[in-house]
Amino acid sequence: MAHLINRNVLLGVSGGIAAYKSAELIRQLQELGAEVRVIMTRGAQQFITPLTLQALSGNPVHTELLDSEAELGMGHIELARWADLLLIAPATADLIARLAIGRADDLLTTVALATAAPRLIAPAMNQQMWHDKACAANVERLESLGMSLVGPAVGEQACGDVGPGRMEQPAVIAASAAALFQSGLLQGKRVLISAGPTQEALDPVRYISNHSSGKMGYALARACADAGARTTLVSGPVNLEAPAKVKRVEVQSALQMLDQCVELSAESDIFIACAAVADYRPAEVQTQKIKKGAEFTSLELVRNPDIVATVSSTNPRPFTVGFAAETNDVVQYARGKMQRKGLDMIVANDVSKQDIGFNSDENAVTVVWPDGEHSLAQSSKLNIARQVVELIAGQIKPES
Ligand code: PMT
């Protein structure tokens, strides 16, 4: 799995209650092999002392921009150059706002501007603040500036509220930091991903569909693009922007998705079938709106073709990864599906739980391949996607 051996991580800690978790985060980063140095804002020092983080990191903690003593040691430019990664955890709403407009009014924001290293931000704030439009715009701006985000997690907050805004767990943040350095994993590969639901028309205004939001498939597309792959998404109707550097082909029905996937998979090294394809479609699509009439009526349905099985039976074929949405005996059923559909790997997804699977921000899965399996603990869909990419990269044969 991903590691941080020989990596210099500059950890920026800003002033929120989650600052106490930075002590554990330092340990997690070190366990993955990182050398850690810490910058604390004034606010952060109200929550945890520099001495604690100095003792844990084994390095002096940096707090001041305009301090001639500090600048004689490792000044802000040296710190910015030393970092292989600037990780800011927790990042408060205020810090995010200052980063979004490029302020350089303390050591942390100055180093954030001065570094060429990737910047990974772990937001932490009250859920109402997280939902606020100004904050959301600032977060979007950070992403458009090329910064990566991990979290926030959803749950009970220190203030008693429940919702998104908690800082992500230190182990998850450390794993995301490590995953950023796996970026060459799919370099030169062409990846095709199906995502979202399909809509099967009944008449001009009605259709049969499901609750897939596309979030998992889009997270996979982003993770594949970040890993260097030329990535194409065949997407059912969803409410999401295509990730940067990802080509999107929009479809509605399973038959349209089949056509696009079969055609595009001929030029792909890897196919990941994450879409929730409708298993059945109406036998006939009425050209006029169906009128209300009898008390009871029935609908004749026909089976849709199986897209992933069709792609996996082509010759030559891409390395083919399916998803299995199950509500019980998840891994056992997934393994059966992998064999029946002729797949190289399958991602077993327990969709019986409300907070993971369909239309949620997080997921927890077990990735299964013929002679192995690996469980990924509950985390954001992007984190799960990054780990799935690593597992795929570990399984693809040189000729795939
Ligand atoms: O979109 P989100 O809200 O983020 O939710 C993500 C998800 C829950 C939809 C996703 O993680 C997931 O589990 N996707 C697969 C859903 C599904 O249809 O599972 P299945 O067990 O019915 O199908 C097994 C596999 O066959 C899947 O790879 C599916 O894409 C594929 N399939 C199914 C039917 C069909 N006609 N053609 C197919 O290719």
Q: What is the extent of the structural domain holding 153?
A: 8-179
Judgement on whether residues 170 and 315 belong to the same structural domain of the protein:
no
Spot the catalytic one: 159, 224, 261, 274.
Answer: 159
Judgement on whether residues 125 and 205 belong to the same structural domain of the protein:
no
* Cα(26)–Cα(57) distance, integer angstroms: 6
Judgement on whether residues 304 and 166 belong to the same structural domain of the protein:
no
Residue 69 corresponds to which tokens in the numbers above?
């003593």
Residue 400 located in a structural domain: no
Distance (Å) from CA 3 to ligand 1 centroid: 31
- Please list, residue by residue across 97-125, b when 16 or more beta carbons sit within 10 angstroms of its beta carbon and e when fewer do: bbbbeeeeebbbbbbbebbebbbbbbbbb
Pocket test for ligand 1, best of 218, 260, 277 (most atoms within 8 A of CB): 277
pLDDT at residue 9, rounded to an integer: 97
The DSSP symbol for 20 reads G
Distance (Å) from CA 333 to ligand 1 centroid: 13
Cβ(63) to ligand 1 under 6 A? no
Residue 210 located in a structural domain: yes
Judgement on whether residues 217 and 350 belong to the same structural domain of the protein:
yes
Residue 330 located in a structural domain: yes
Judgement on whether residues 346 and 308 belong to the same structural domain of the protein:
yes
Residue 248 located in a structural domain: yes
Distance (Å) from CA 268 to ligand 1 centroid: 20
The residues near 322 (Cβ < 8 Å, ≥ 6 apart) are: 273, 308, 337, 338, 341, 343, 345, 346, 347
Judgement on whether residues 209 and 341 belong to the same structural domain of the protein:
yes
Q: Which of 126, 159, 179 is the last residue of a domain?
A: 179
CA angle 137, 139, 141 (to 5 degrees): 70
Cβ(274) to ligand 1 under 6 A? yes
Cβ(197) to ligand 1 under 6 A? no
CATH number at residue 198: 3.40.50.10300
Judgement on whether residues 127 and 237 belong to the same structural domain of the protein:
no
Residue 385 located in a structural domain: yes
> Among 194, 196, 193, 192, which residue's Cα sits nearest to residue 240?
196
Q: Which of 148, 179, 210 is the last residue of a domain?
A: 179
**Protein residue whose Cα sits closest to atom 31 of ligand 1:** 308
Cβ(308) to ligand 1 under 6 A? yes
Q: Which of 122, 157, 179 is the last residue of a domain?
A: 179
CATH number at residue 17: 3.40.50.1950
- Measured in degrees and rounded to the nearest 5, phi and psi for residue 46 equal -80, -20
Query: In 10 A of CB 314, how many CB atoms?
Result: 13
The residues near 271 (Cβ < 8 Å, ≥ 6 apart) are: 191, 192, 193, 194, 261, 265, 308, 311, 312, 318, 319, 320, 321
* Cα(170)–Cα(174) distance, integer angstroms: 6
Distance (Å) from CA 172 to ligand 1 centroid: 25
Q: Are 184 and 349 in contact (CB under 8 A)?
A: no
Judgement on whether residues 106 and 227 belong to the same structural domain of the protein:
no
For residue 211, give the ligand 1 atom closest to its CA. Answer: 3
Residue 184 located in a structural domain: no
Judgement on whether residues 77 and 152 belong to the same structural domain of the protein:
yes
pLDDT at residue 398, rounded to an integer: 55
Judgement on whether residues 226 and 245 belong to the same structural domain of the protein:
yes
For residue 357, give the ligand 1 atom closest to its CA. Answer: 8
Distance (Å) from CA 325 to ligand 1 centroid: 6
The tally of domains found in the chain comes to 2
The residues near 298 (Cβ < 8 Å, ≥ 6 apart) are: none
The residues near 394 (Cβ < 8 Å, ≥ 6 apart) are: none
Judgement on whether residues 365 and 385 belong to the same structural domain of the protein:
yes
Cβ(214) to ligand 1 under 6 A? yes
Cβ(273) to ligand 1 under 6 A? yes
Judgement on whether residues 226 and 319 belong to the same structural domain of the protein:
yes
Q: Are 308 and 320 in contact (CB under 8 A)?
A: yes
Cβ(216) to ligand 1 under 6 A? yes
Tell me the per-residue pLDDT of 215-252, one tens digit each, with 9 for 90 and over.
999 999 988 988 889 999 999 999 999 987 899 999 99
Residue 62 located in a structural domain: yes
3-state secondary structure 167-232: CCCHHHHHHHHHHHCCCCCCCCCEEEEEECECCEEEECCEEECCCCCCHHHHHHHHHHHHCCCEEE
User: In whole angstroms, how far apart are CA 378 and each of 147, 240, 332, 358?
Assistant: 23, 22, 20, 14
pLDDT at residue 183, rounded to an integer: 66
Cβ(270) to ligand 1 under 6 A? no
Distance (Å) from CA 372 to ligand 1 centroid: 21
Tracing tokens 């780990």 back to the chain, one arrives at 387
Residue ranges, the chain, pLDDT below 50? 399-400
Does the annotation count 261 as an active-site position?
no
Residue 2 located in a structural domain: no
* Cα(139)–Cα(168) distance, integer angstroms: 16
